[in-house]
Amino acid sequence: MPVPRKVKPWRGFPSVNAVHGIRARIRQSGTLQPGYGEYRLSGLGTTAANRVPIGTVPAGAILLPLFRKVEEALTATATITLVDASNTTVYTALAAGVGANTSADVVPEQTAATSMPTADLVLYASLNVALAPAGIVDILVRFYMNKD
């Protein structure tokens, strides 16, 4: 059984008007390097035990559309979602059918389901299929902090 990971606190600069980001690299095959923000999803991630925490967006941040890049194809039916602590979908990072397509370009994806969280938003990555045997997907969640 994997050791549960602790969610890292946000370490940005709250007094700066800037775009910040949380990067997650979902690596289902090869050697996992957790120090570089790489995660392996165990599949069927709708339960809390299978979700992987990837970072925290501070309260009052404006969520921007995320970017994703499929480097190695996933199972065609795989869907990667980013959810909050109550398992509500914030982003669909990779829709079903898209994971089988690799691209040399970074693709802007859908916008967030909520635009400005009123409390700190902990993001978890989850996968809807049982343990995809292969695949690498880079995800970048962007948010803007407006501090006067």
Residue 2 lies in a domain: no
Residue partners of 135: CB distance under 8 A and separation at least 6: 26, 27, 28, 29, 70, 72, 73, 74, 75, 78, 99
Q: Over 80: is that where the pLDDT of 101 sits?
A: no
Structural contact between residues 66 and 91, judged by C-beta atoms closer than 8 angstroms: yes
Residue partners of 84: CB distance under 8 A and separation at least 6: 90, 121, 122, 123, 124
Parent domain of 87: 18-145
Integer Cα distance of 117 and 138 in angstroms: 24
Residue 44 lies in a domain: yes
Domain harbouring 70, CATH code: 2.60.120
Residue 114 lies in a domain: yes
Residue 40 lies in a domain: yes
Q: What is the pTM of this model?
A: 0.76
Q: Over 60: is that where the pLDDT of 122 sits?
A: yes
Q: What is the pLDDT of residues 28-75, one digit of tens each?
A: 777 777 667 777 776 555 566 778 888 898 888 888 888 888 888 777
Residue 10 lies in a domain: no
Residue 25 lies in a domain: yes
